[in-house]
Amino acid sequence: MSRQIPEPNGDGLVGITARPLVPVRSPWKKPTITLLLSLILPGLGQLLNGEPWKGFFFAASLPILTIAALRGRIVFSFLGLVIFFFFFNVWRIWICADAFRVARRGTQPERAFSLTPLTFIVFGSLIIACGLGPSSNYFLQKFGYFRAFRVPSGSFCPAICEGERVVTDMGAYVKFPPKRGDVIMFEYHSAKGPLFIKRVIGVEGDVVSGTDGAILLNGRPFDGHSRPPICGQPAEGHRSGEEPRFGPVKVPASSFFVVGDNSTNSYDSRIPGFGLVTLDQVRGRPVYIYWSTGKSRIGCAVN
């Protein structure tokens, strides 16, 4: 496409000369693309700006921060989880802002260089690997002991009530077995089914029985066995029904007698057919409540 521009000719007359029409580029196109790429996978925006090393550094920094937080067990406290996610997201925002700023400026930085196809492919692959690595099977197996669950029932209320979400340490009992009084998560007869949350009240050699509305541990009431205080304001009406009669049951080796804290409304080792929990069924320990409809419950430790 061209337009006609009048120009004077040698006779002093005005002639017509065709000149190409230069398209006008939008100053927001590239910044918008780099911003979107950075939101999808941090580091891709810098790659598009001709800064592959910076993009790779930014991309690698996020899984490194995650691994450091898991290795240091920072996320296994509610305050640590909040601090980690705050700085993690601030850093991601900074990466996106940097890509947008450089693209908006319109000129390449001093250290930028023209990307060859091979350079683009190599650094693009590295950045994508850094972005998708934390979701790989290897990463989940290596660092998958940090897990979050939603509790579907009130059988463990008031410690953990229905609908609340908890962070669980799936590596809590890899080296040492649960002790009396510990709260555990375990599989119930099926590896594909949901995990149960109960409290261990009987370990190897203990005798547990239930009579006259009380749970007896080695002949003494279990309620006197230092149950932790209630944290926050739990859901009301969590107790219903009556304490079942059972036992006495002697706990064998590598097994545990478990009961829900909402003992009048809990399906546990006191009920015929439920049975004891074996060590190979134990999967982890809930650590704290990270979300609840009751604000006073958020951050409550599970003791």
> Over its length of 303 residues, how does the chain's per-residue pLDDT go in tens digits?
545 555 555 555 555 555 555 555 677 888 899 999 999 999 999 999 989 999 999 999 999 999 999 889 999 999 999 999 999 999 999 999 999 999 988 755 545 456 688 888 999 999 999 988 877 767 767 777 889 999 998 899 989 999 999 999 999 998 999 999 999 999 987 666 789 999 999 999 999 988 877 888 888 887 644 567 788 888 765 555 667 788 789 999 999 999 998 888 888 998 888 989 999 999 999 999 999 998 999 999 998
Which of 295, 289, 246, 293 shows the shortest CA–CA distance to 266? Answer: 246
Specify the pLDDT at position 224.
47
Q: Are 295 and 204 in contact (CB under 8 A)?
A: no
Count of CB atoms situated within 10 Å of the CB of 229:
6
Strands (DSSP E) along the chain, which ranges?
Answer: 2-8, 14-20, 146-150, 165-169, 183-187, 195-202, 207-211, 214-217, 220-221, 246-250, 255-259, 277-278, 282-291
Specify the pLDDT at position 6.
57
Place of tokens 């109960």: 198
Specify the pLDDT at position 128.
93
Instruction: Give domain 146-231+238-297's CATH architecture.
Output: Ribbon (2.10)
Domain ranges of the chain: 29-142, 146-231+238-297
Q: Are 168 and 185 in contact (CB under 8 A)?
A: yes
Which of 51, 52, 47 shows the shortest CA–CA distance to 33? Answer: 47
Which of 300, 216, 301, 203 shows the shortest CA–CA distance to 253? Answer: 203
Q: What is the pTM of this model?
A: 0.77
The SS3 assignment for 146 reads strand
Which of 214, 200, 206, 204 shows the shortest CA–CA distance to 258? Answer: 200
